[in-house]
Structure 1
Amino acid sequence: MTNATSAPSSDAPPWHETAPRRVRDVTARPLTADGVCWVAAHGGAGASTLAKVLGGTDIGCRWPDSTLDEPARVLLVARTDAQGLLAAARAFNAVIDNRYPAGMDLLGLVLVADLPGRLPQTLRSRVRMLRSKAPMWQVPWIPQWRLGRQVDRLPKQLVKLGRVVQTTQRGGGR
């Protein structure tokens, strides 16, 4: 049996309550201005798939690292289930608390549908709260992705997000 209040883990995302608190090092070398990175708020968020389909760098469940020449521009990715939205809220709280690398630019939140159909009211309320904190893109349920397949034509939501990624990859603004 595991204890939900276990000791801090260095494996936890930097925004998780069990992650050790670190002071932001403002003297570290800057993050690179080139490109965009996908940061998963939690495992299984869809960051790897989005990076593969739209471009950019998938860096997993952590903030970008200047020692690895990773991009400063971040798209945070979460699923639309309760745990995914909670993980996204924790990541936003880390940004509010200045627990992120100097020079990081959070472009916004990408929510990936966890199931087809409309979200329950409780989850829609959480989405509204998150939308008030940063720009947001919502990716609909794509059944082919569940099977590891490509889609013939991207949904319009992904086309719009792809434009943001491509503009950012070329060094443009939001």
Structure 2
Amino acid sequence: MAQARPAAPVAPQPTAPVAPAPRKAAARPKAAAAPARAAGGRRPAPAADAEPGWGRPKKPRPVRGKSRDDVGWVKAHGGSGATSMVEAFGGVDVGARWPDPARGEPRRVVLVGRTSARGLQSVSQALGALKDGNAPQGLELLGVVLVADAPGRLPLSLLRRIRVLRSVARVHRVPWIPAWRTGGRPRSVPRQLATLSKLVGGELYGEGAVS
């Protein structure tokens, strides 16, 4: 009986190299979203209470009173109380800028602001523009009127700011008057308004009656 021959050795098959897995591309940071546009491709308008910066060139329409001697009430910021001053003493509401006497606008001006931190800062900026020459020539600053932004006493930090303002201008403080909040007239007029009436030379509410 013939013996079985041993099987021939099998040659090893070459193994194909395994390709490395493709790397994932690093995620690119998303670009900041562009501000939304209103209908028609226009950008949204700025906030309504935004005030133009002091010292920037402006060409507003002239604001004239009955005479060149009328007092111009200049608001240091929105909601300063300048409108209440005009209603109480008369004069011209100039807006948030210094008037130009060369254009027939009031030369005698009063700067009005609130006693809040933001209000006092705006008053300081307006006075700085006047001091630095960023205002028309021929202006006579009668004083600064600070209208109370809330009932009660002011914090010490705000009183210190007012003290600094007093060192550069004549400051008149007006207390909190609840009637002004609803658009009315005060039944009893504070003495501070009587003093202010003498300063601007106008009768209080056109009646001259001060209690």
TM-score, length of structure 2 as denominator length: 0.64
Instruction: Name the CA distance, whole Å, in 2 between partners of 1:13 and 1:56.
Output: 24
Where relative contact order (Cα < 8 A, 6+ residues apart) is larger, the structure is 1
The match for 1:134 is 169
The match for 1:77 is 112
Does residue 37 (structure 1) correspond to residue 72 (structure 2)? The answer is: yes
Select which of 137, 140, 146 maps to 1:111: 146
Query: How many residues align structurally?
Result: 146
> Aligned with 1:59: secondary structure?
strand
The match for 1:14 is 54
Structure exhibiting the larger radius of gyration computed from Cα positions = 2
AA matched with 1:147: T
Instruction: Name the CA distance, whole Å, in 2 between partners of 1:160 and 1:54.
Output: 12
AA matched with 2:91: G
Instruction: Name the CA distance, whole Å, in 2 between partners of 1:121 and 1:34.
Output: 37
Which consecutive unaligned segments of at least 5 residues does structure 2 have?
1-34, 36-50, 59-66, 203-211
Which consecutive unaligned segments of at least 5 residues does structure 1 have?
2-10, 23-31, 168-174
Conserved 8 A contact 1:112-1:140: yes
Instruction: Name the CA distance, whole Å, in 2 between partners of 1:124 and 1:118.
Output: 10
AA matched with 1:149: G
What is the deviation of 1:56? 1.1
Instruction: Name the CA distance, whole Å, in 2 between partners of 1:71 and 1:58.
Output: 10
**Displaced runs of 4+ in structure 1, greater than 6 A?**
none
> Aligned with 2:88: secondary structure?
helix
Conserved 8 A contact 2:75-2:96: yes
**Identity fraction in percent:** 47
What is the deviation of 1:65? 2.6
Superposed counterparts of 1:160-171, under 5 Å: 160-166=195-201
> Aligned with 1:98: secondary structure?
coil
Please tell me the root mean square deviation across aligned C-alpha atoms, in Å. Answer: 2.0
The match for 1:7 is none
Conserved 8 A contact 2:101-2:138: no
Instruction: Name the CA distance, whole Å, in 2 between partners of 1:48 and 1:67.
Output: 24
Q: Give CA-to-partner distance per residue, 1:50-79, whole Å, 9 cap, x none.
A: 011111111111111336521101100000
> Aligned with 2:135: secondary structure?
coil
Conserved 8 A contact 1:36-1:71: yes
Does residue 58 (structure 1) correspond to residue 98 (structure 2)? The answer is: no
TM-score, length of structure 1 as denominator length: 0.78
Does residue 95 (structure 1) correspond to residue 130 (structure 2)? The answer is: yes
AA matched with 1:159: A
Name whichever structure is richer in strand by fraction.
1
